[in-house]
Amino acid sequence: MNSDDFSVISAKKQTNDKNLDLFLRPQNFEEYYGQEKIKENLKILIEAAQKRKEALEHILLYGPAGIGKTSLAHIIAKSTGANLKITSGPAIEKVGDLASILTNLVDGDILFIDEIHRLNKLVEEILYPAMEDYVLDIIIGKGPSAKTLQLNLSRFTLIGATTRIGLLSSPFRSRFGVTHRLDFYNDGDIEKILNRSSKILNIKTEKSGIETIAKCSRKTPRVANRLLKRVRDYAEVKRNGIIQEQTAKEALKMLEIDEIGLEPADKRLLKIIIDKFNGGPVGLQALSAASSEEIDTIEDIYEPFLMQIGFIARTPRGRVATEHAYKHLGIKYDNKKQNILL
């Protein structure tokens, strides 16, 4: 079977990935590996609220994409026995949309808003009294004849998730009683996640195969599970169905993912900074134009990991490719030139 056959089979299996992701989601704090301090703080928060028979304080979770914010919201809801209502910032376009959601909540419900930084500002302002006083102020009509209708709301908990906390206004952030930043994972925790996912999916693995995938997972659980499924496809089609070290390396090579998890898009971005902008500094708008990538995509998808591994640095004048990036790409680094540019 050739690589084209593998690609077809892999593409078919990807159609079920969304359901598999839900299946792989951890169901409790014990199954949620990593973020130990945050988990401990949340356990105390939940237990204290239950002893007082109160609703949880509003919680804001922020950090890179795929790091487990949504999974944590599900676990919080399950730990409290609360109903979880899920929506996203872009989905709440008008005040009426938010009013419809809030008025249908009952005491103790948890409302989870993903990408909360993308809320319309008018909608955000309506949330202020809803979060503080559990009331909803609706303005009916316009001009001098406008009237304000105040509706009492059930005592709910808002959990917001964002990759861009800086885009939330200060008054909005201050209304969250609890704020936690979720960080990238270490390889050990990623290996635990991969082992758990392998058991759920009935995938036969060897320790060395799991370690190989973990190193290429960009320190991110979502990426780790995605790679596990693609390596599983390769192992079933091209090998004996067991994820061994060599099998994992071959599959990742076919996917054009290198030994530290860089994908073609990452390398292309770094080479644009190095080749077109002499290693930087370069502003985000110029980098976006040169790479044909959206600014949000660069900031949310590529940049966090590249900064985490020390391949990109932020300066007052823009982004700079570091010496580590040059070495990884096999490009000569001119230290004197970089000092002048900086």
**Active-site residue set:** 69-70, 114, 163, 222
> What is the rounded CA–CA span in Å between residue 159 and residue 204?
37
Helix (H) or strand (E) holding 205: strand 204-205
CA atoms within 13 A on the CB side of 18: 1
Q: Give me the sign of the Cα torsion angle 98, 104, 24, 40.
A: positive
Task: Please report the beta strands in 63-203, taking only residues with DSSP state E, as ranges in sequence order.
Answer: 84-88, 110-114, 135-140, 147-152, 157-162, 178-181
Length of the chain (residues): 342
Which amino acid type is present at position 293?
A: E
Is 257:227 a contact under the CB 8 Å cutoff? yes
Helix axes 221-238, 187-200, angle to 10 degrees: 50
Q: Helix (H, G, I), strand (E, B), or coil: what is residue 247?
A: helix
Residue type, 305: F
Dihedral sign computed on CA atoms, order 94, 95, 96, 100: positive
Q: Which helix (H) or strand (E) segment is 140 a member of?
A: strand 135-140
Q: Are 28 and 78 in contact (CB under 8 A)?
A: yes
**Sole residue written with tokens 């909803």:** 136
DSSP state of 104: T
